[in-house]
Chains A and B, each alone.
Chain A
Amino acid sequence: MEQRNPPAPDTGVRPSSKPGAAANAPIIEFRHAGKVFDDGTHAVDDVSFQVRPEEIVAIVGPSGCGKSTLLRMASGLSPATSGEVESSHERLGYVFQDATLLPWRNVQRNVELFGELRGAPKEERTRLASEVIDLVGLKGFERHYPKALSGGMKMRVSLARSLTMKPPLFLFDEPFGALDEITRERLNDELLRLFATEDFAAIFITHSVNEAVYLSNRVLVMSPRPGRLIGEFAVPFEFPRSADLRFEPDFARLSGEISHALRADLT
């Protein structure tokens, strides 16, 4: 089916680094945003940062520092109690650590869920679903139920489900935290490929410094609760990145610096 015509069309893989140009209006902006829960828990304190279109921002921090709360604030699930969070788009992809698939639906029907909730016509849903299932490499598994899938495959389904909305912003809440390292690294590479082809920005929460550096344009470091931003590191490596990047001295140096910043506040 795939014919290679002489004048090779744009393959969709963009040549170099993402255009994180400052001229672009931020897709989401936190302005001195904080969160105090009803029970008095001070989860997040005075957080300010922006994410520009097609920019990948990773956030690392010790467990319980309010990273997940930050995403819930970004999505509006749990609004900020002080300051503001301003988002320029309503549509967003939210990927939890748990794949949150509906176990009574097969892969195809799980991926169609959001379209269904939006009221999209059946034909469009089916077309979109098969498109993204192909994109995450699950062709042939459409009729499988989540029970029969591995953890990594479930995450792919979860990712595909969000991709059907073509969201300009993705929120990742430690999506690969529960997976083994090999699966996690493979999914990291696939995510990078998706970042390159699918034009979305992302906030990526993780507790793995290596994962943060490998995937992002920028790494933010959070303190223990109440979570504050205590460091920001630009990641200079060009896209597309290859798996070998992880073994380069610059990569190790940057990861080391971030780990250091992370531990500085952990006494």
Chain B
Amino acid sequence: MSIEARREAGLDPARSGAGTVSEPGPPKPARRSRAADLFSKVAPPLIVFVAFIAFWYAVSYLFLEETQRFLLPPPHDVFIVSFLDTVNLTEILNALLSTTQVALVGLAIAIVIGVSFAVLMSLGKWVERSLYPYAVILQTVPILAIVPLIGFWFDFNFRSRVIVCVIIALFPIITNTLFGLQSVDQEMHDLFTLHKASRWTRLLKLQLPHALPAIFAGFRISAGLSVIGAIVGDFFFRQGEPGIGRLLDVYRAALQSEQLFAALFFSSLLGLVVFWFFGLIGHLLTRHWHDTAGQEV
């Protein structure tokens, strides 16, 4: 409460200090409460972040000898070496671009295949029964085991990396879409039956819209997985255009821990951005009607 009050008090002088003459008179309660609202949302993760950085410094300087400090370089070193050194930054960003391309193409293909398969499965119980076990197997096969095999078969190129992404991203899309299509209330189906709706009409006007929130939940999970697939594929292939996975391996081998941390940071950021992006699209499409559409990230 005192934090809140202090912040509230701090806000107004800051605003008037900016010299905004156009904003005289009474304070605006709506904006204030919105600021307080924002504060209550931002503050907790911010505190965790500060604590995390403090812990990082503590480990770097208190636990590690100077000779061991390469194991965990302090945050500002990481920042200086990787973000302010344009050579390093360019190298990392180029790799990131390559990885992003692989992940997005893989994700797009997984979405097309996954949604189509789910629709097919929803059309007939026998299709579901014959295909679903293989979707599960696809999910349970360790991706690390299958990556070399894909390299053998399809060569170590862009296409193979995309295939890895598709394999790893497919399952959540299939299961979530299928769940969405199948979870329509019986009464709704009755309604469409009474009006002699065709299978196609039922799918387009009832099942697909109903499934939209679940479908986007699947996209969100798969987007993160596709990024992981792109990095893992890259890490193991060690050929072709280097992505962020290859860089991780190179930095590790050369004990360039500052760059290693930066590469780690950027690859996490990529996963976060695609995850958030699909969350946003899903939210925009269903916010009028879906209860959980308000939840973000």
Binding site for B on A (CB under 8 A): 72, 75, 77, 92, 94, 96, 98, 100, 102-104, 106, 113-114, 116-118, 145-147
Contacts and interface: CB of A to CB of B under 8 A. Distances in A.
B187 A147 contact: no
Contacts of B286: 104
B190 interface: yes
Contacts of A96: 187, 190-191
Contacts of A104: 209-210, 212, 286, 288-290
A98 B212 CA distance: 22
A72 B291 CA distance: 31
A117 B187 contact: no
20 contacts: A72-B190, A75-B194, A77-B190, A96-B187, A96-B190, A98-B187, A100-B185, A100-B188, A102-B188, A102-B205, A102-B209, A104-B210, A104-B286, A104-B288, A114-B195, A117-B195, A117-B205, A145-B289, A147-B289, A147-B291
Interface in B76-126: none
A103 B192 contact: no
A94 B286 CA distance: 28
Interface string B208-222: 011010000000000
Contacts of B195: 114, 117-118
Nearest to A98: B187
Given A114-B195, A117-B197, A117-B201, A100 B289 contact: no
A213 B193 CA distance: 32
Interface string B163-205: 0000000000000000000000101101111111100010001
Interface residues of B, number: 22
Given A104-B288, A106-B288, A117-B195, 5 more contacts: A100-B191, A104-B209, A104-B286, A116-B205, A117-B205
B206 interface: yes
Most buried by B among A75, A98, A104, A113: A104
A100 B193 CA distance: 13
A94 B193 CA distance: 12
B296 to A, nearest CB: 18
A33 B204 CA distance: 36
Contact of A146 (B188, B190, B196, B289): B289
Contact of A100 (B187, B197, B212): B187
- For the residues of B in contact with A, the DSSP-based class is helix
Contacts of B190: 72, 77, 94, 96
Interface in B204-245: 205-206, 209-210, 212
Contact of A77 (B194, B212, B288): B194
B293 to A, nearest CB: 10
Contact of A102 (B194, B206, B290): B206
A77 B193 contact: yes
A204 to B, nearest CB: 18
Nearest to B188: A100
A174 B219 CA distance: 40
Nearest to B209: A104
A117 B206 CA distance: 11
Contacts of B291: 147
B128 to A, nearest CB: 21
A147 B191 contact: no
Contacts of B188: 100, 102
A145 B194 contact: no
Interface string B46-90: 000000000000000000000000000000000000000000000
A114 B195 CA distance: 7
B208 to A, nearest CB: 10
Contacts of A102: 188, 205-206, 209
A138 to B, nearest CB: 17
A98 B187 CA distance: 8
Contacts of B205: 102, 113, 116-117
Contacts of A77: 190, 193-194
B193 to A, nearest CB: 6
A228 to B, nearest CB: 25
Given A100-B187, A104-B212, A147-B289, A117 B193 contact: no
